[in-house]
Structure formats: C-alpha cells, structure tokens
Amino acid sequence: MTFLDDAALERLRCAADAPDLSGTKYAITRELARGGMGTVYEAWDAELERAVALKVVTVPEAIPEGVARLHREARTLAHLEHPGIVPVHDIGRLPDGRFYYAMKLVRGARLDELVATAPRAELLRIFGRVCDAIAFAHAHGVVHRDIKPANIMVAGFGEVLVVDWGLATEKQSPVDGRQSSTPNPASEPSSEIAARADDDTRLATADIRPVTGHGAILGTPGFMAPEQSSGGIVAVDARADVFALGALLQWMLGASGRAAPRANALAAIAGQAMRADPAARYQSVTALAADVEAFLDKRPVSAYPERALERARRVVTKYRAPIVLVLAYLVMRLVLLLVMRERR
Amino acid sequence: MPERTSDFPRTRDSVIAGAASDDAAVRARSLEAIAESYWRPAYKYLRLRWHLEREDAEDLTQDFFATACDRDLFARYDPAAARFRTYLRVCLDSVAKNARAASLRLKRGGGVVHLALDFAGAEGELAGARALEENGPDEFFRREWLRSLFTLAVHDLRILCESAGKSVHFELFDRYDLGAGRATYAELAAEHALPVTQVTNHLAFARREFRRLLLARLRAQCASDAEFREEARELLGVDVT
C-alpha cells in the first residue's frame, strides 16, 4: 500500500468532506474557511461563468437545526441589500443532502490580516463602514451577534463587507422599534439554550427569535456583550452589536501598534460602547458612529469630557491652517506698525 | 495475515465488540480487522516511543496481536473508560515496559502464530511519519492510526472501483485528490478524453464512496455509537447517525 504523508492525509480528509456538486452548476475550486456549522468554498459557477463563495452546511440533514440555521442565514442576507453586506446569489440542496448557498466571492483581506499595516485613519474609515452596515441591519431588525475582525473583509477597491451572519437574530429593535422585514421563524421555547461549538459560552434565547439552533456558534469571547455570554434569561438586542463594535474599536487601537493622538478620546468611545450595562452604552450604532466621525472631524466626542488644555490642543489641530494665517497676518501687522513707528 | 482488505460488502459491526465474542470465528475475524488497522501504528510507536530495535519491535508487534485473544486483551476493554485507541496504546506501553524490564529478547517463532505484516514497508515510513516528540505519544498514535485508516479506505475504494468497472473514477481520484501537484479538471478531462462535467461527476462519485468506506472503517474501529460519532466529528467535522 502507498504510504500517505501528512499532506496526502489532509487532501484526503478534504476530499472525504468535499460536497457532492454533481448535477449543480458549481465546481469547487478550493476551501476558503471552515466554521462550526459550515464550510465555505470558492466555487466556479459554470452557467454565469463567475467565481462565487459557496457555503455548505457541515451537519447533514440528520440534524435539522443546522440546516434551518443556514437557511435562515441565507434568507436574512437576501433581505439585507447593502454595499457592506455580502449578497446571496443562490440557495439549494446538494445531491448528498447537504444544504448550501452561493454568495458573492469577496477577494480581499480580513481585517485581522491587515490591521498591522493599515494606517489608523484607514482603520477608522473601515470601522465607519462596518458601523454603516450594522446600522442598516439593525434598521431591518437584524442583530449580527458575531462582529469580530475575522468577519470583516476589505476588498481590493477598499469595499468593506461584514460577513458570516450565521448567528444573526431577527427581532424587533428596542432602539428604533422597527419590526423585522423578514418572515419570522416559529418561536422556540424561551428556555432553549444553544451552545457554541468552539467555545463554552452559552446564550439564552429568551426574547429573541433565534436564527441559530442547537450546536450553533453564538459569539466570540472578547467581542461578546455580557448579556450575550452570561447564559442568563436576558434580552440580546442591537446593543450587543454596539458592545462588539466597541470591542472591535478597542482591538483596532491595540492591534495597530501605533501611538495615536487623542487616543484617550477613542478609548473613551470604545469604553462607552463596551459598558456592561446595555442601558449605559450608546443606544444605537448610529450614535457610536457619530462619535467616531466627530473624532475624525476633530470635534468633541460625547464619550469624553475634555480638559481645557486638550480642548485647546484639539482646536489648534483642527484649525491649524486658519490659525497660522491669522497669526502670520498679526505678525505682519505688528512688524508694519513697528516699522511705521520707527519712521515717525 | 495477508496485507489486504476484506471483501465487500463490509460489515459495519464493531470489531471491538467482535473481539470479545464467544464465537471463535467472529473473534478471529475481528482480531484480523483490528490488527489490519493498528499494526502499523503499533510498530512505529514501539520503534519511536520505546526506541526498540527493528527486530524487537517486529517481534513485539507480532506477539501483541497474535496473543491478544489468548490474553483476553480486547475483552477487558471498557469503552466507558477510554477510547479503544488509547487503551491499545496503554497496553502497548505495558507490554514494552515488561519486555524491557525482563531484558528478554523476543525470539521469532517459539510457537507464536505469525502474522504476515509488511514491516519493511512500515520501517520505510518511519522517516515520513510525524515526529513523536512534536505532538506527544497519544497524538502520534492517533495520527498513525488515521494514516492506517485512510490507507485502508483508499485501498477499499480501489477495489470497489475496479470491481464495478469504474477504474477511471479511481484514477481521477488518485490524480486529483490523492496526488501532490493537483491537476486541473480541464487537464484531467483532456487526459481521459472526457468532458469536464464528467470528470467532476466521476470525482463526486469517488469522493462519496471514499467517504462512505472511510466511515465504515471508522465505525468498525469504534466500540460504541457515541465514540463513532465523536471520531467522525473530529475526523471530518460531520455529525453522523
């Protein structure tokens, strides 16, 4: 028998796990990512002659929650048409019974891959785009629940896309009160608790209509709001995403590894978003984004009461050019006055 | 024991349970299946973990599997305590330790039934096997067991394809999924004078069958359904029923 080296073993493992795409218009090019519930492949759509990302549920139909979850994720995405949210092209079932959906293939880098090299201004621009996409989802009653660097893609032309909506929930937003535009799945018992496969966190699904089901991935430690990770019978609403965005901002500040002017203000914004009590956080992503935008415009931010010296420094920085011009003008006037006085 | 797989259709019954059967024929078949999957990992483990000389490792491997039934080794296995793989490794440790303590050089023959095992082939694989120090004895043994399992499943697939007149399916699988330097679908299509869609369909068939055969092998090597499900999840990331 032929000896299988480690590389051959891994290729065979992938082959055994490869979805059966016979009879579909797709052919797998390579595996892109593997999660608790599904694997994402780069695939070729022979009909439309384009590359797509194909997400195939790992769990076969013997465990229907996995299928239901992926199905709902696809449907959630299909209802969220936004430049910052990856669009779904197609949905279906493979001959081997596994469920899949095809979506736009994003060619680019994950945020965690480029954070070390991107300038801070660029990171904050990306953060703003992420806020836009999440705010849009919230306006449609969808909470992402798994915002983290690995779920943010930056494409070749600077497009920013939020991916992996597998943990998203559809519910009425406590912030803007708008109702989900998507059909509601049947409510599940309030005591139903789903556990994440790759960590030991638990989340009660008391007053939410979970897109997720048994064995679902329900957040990432470090980016999860306390009410999401506590496992208590508590509500998880849009403010859980506000917390995650605060954690993301804090992570960006730390991971970029460069000393930042007015870092205190940015840290205060992140801190405000990450308050343990949801009521003490920004009450919407829009409010959080507005503070970040104020920071970028060198305006005061609501989360950080400035001291007089800091305010002066900020104003000088913001209005440096006109201040320099006025000062130059005043110096010239002074010189002129002195010269004229000398002549008299 | 010949270095070949059993004929199809293969039973999905656990060979671990079969090894403790009262029926001598069932016990013998089960032992053969266990040895088929485990002798290579066992031999490599003895060579690398216990630093046994080649001949000593060969003798001890032979002795271990040939006398396992007489010593009720498999009948004593408790699925609730550990996975069979772990139990087997601990037994090997014990056997090697005793042999070393007794400073006894195991002699070939001596009334022990010999299994026809390709030790020369296994010896050649030692250099290619992942170093034991890198991952510890348990992971090393698991890795080598998986290697053996996959090797046998590939062999099963070859036999299945040949017997079903689908040799080209296996050739495509061999070229695309098994070999290094993967060819493209188009290249394979040109090589075999097939449409690309036919290539992908053949590959889908081969992968589907490989998966089935692999899981059948795995199922046979597990003592319980729970262990099988756990192993399958670890191995392929899938839940099976």
The mean pLDDT value for A21-29 works out to 82
Residue B1 has pLDDT above 50, yes or no: no
Query: Is A34 in Cβ contact with B151 (below 8 Å)?
Result: no
| Nearest CB partner across the interface for A7, out of B151, B180, B211 | B180
Does B234 contact chain A (CB < 8 Å)? no
Beta-carbon separation of B207 and A5 below 8 A? no
Give the model's pLDDT for residue B104: 52
- Contact by Cβ (8 Å): A241, A273: no
pLDDT at A201 over 60: no
CA A283 to chain centre: 17
Q: How confident is the model at residue B167 (pLDDT cuts 50, 70, 90)?
A: very high
Nearest to A15 among B196, B207, B235 (CB): B207
Instruction: Say yes or no: B180 contacts chain A, CB-CB below 8 A.
Output: yes
| Reported ipTM exceeds the 0.85 cut | no
Q: Is B1 exposed, middle or buried (0-12, 13-18, 19+ CB in 10 A)?
A: middle
Strand partners, A43: A28, A52
Rounded Cα distance, B46 and B43, in Å: 5
Per DSSP, chain B holds a count of helices (H) and strands (E) of: 10, 0
Look at residues B146, B144, B45 and name the one whose alpha carbon lies nearest to residue B97.
B45
Instruction: Assign B11 a pLDDT band (cuts: 50, 70, 90).
Output: very low
**Nearest Cα residue in chain B from A62:** B241
The encoded tokens of residue A60 equal: 């076969």
Joined together, the tokens standing for residue B72 give 């009720």
- What is the spatial distance between Cα A273 and Cα A288, in angstroms, rounded to a whole number? 7
Tokens representing residue A304 in the block: 């950080």
Q: In the structure, what pLDDT confidence band is assigned to residue B119 with cuts at 50, 70 and 90?
A: confident
Nearest CA in chain A to B127: A5
Closest CA–CA distance from residue B149 to any residue of chain A (Å)? 10
**Separation between Cα atoms, residue A161 and residue A151, nearest integer Å:** 8
More confident residue, B127 or A104: A104
Which stretch of DSSP H or E encloses residue A142?
strand A142-143
Could you tell me which chain B residue has the CA closest to the CA of A215?
A: B239
Structure tokens at B196: 């690309």
Residue of A175, A123, A161, A180 lying closest to A287 (CA atoms): A175
Using DSSP's 3-state secondary structure scheme, residue A255 falls into: helix
The one-letter amino acid code at A146 reads D
Residue A127 has pLDDT above 90, yes or no: yes
Contact B146 A9 (CB under 8 A): yes
B7 inside 8 A of chain A by CB: no
Q: To the nearest whole percent, how much of chain B has pLDDT over 90?
A: 14
* Distance from C-alpha of A81 to C-alpha of B177, rounded to nearest angstrom: 38
Range in A171-175, A181-185, B184-188, B194-198 the model is least confident about = A181-185
- Choice between A169 and B188, residue whose per-residue pLDDT is larger: B188
Least confident range of A120-124, A332-336, B115-119: B115-119
- Which token pair is B94? 């014990």
Tokens found for residue A305: 């009461």
Whether the per-residue pLDDT at A97 is higher than 80: the answer is no
State the smallest CA–CA distance between residue B85 and chain A in angstroms: 19
DSSP state of A209: E
Q: How many CB pairs under 8 A join A and B?
A: 83
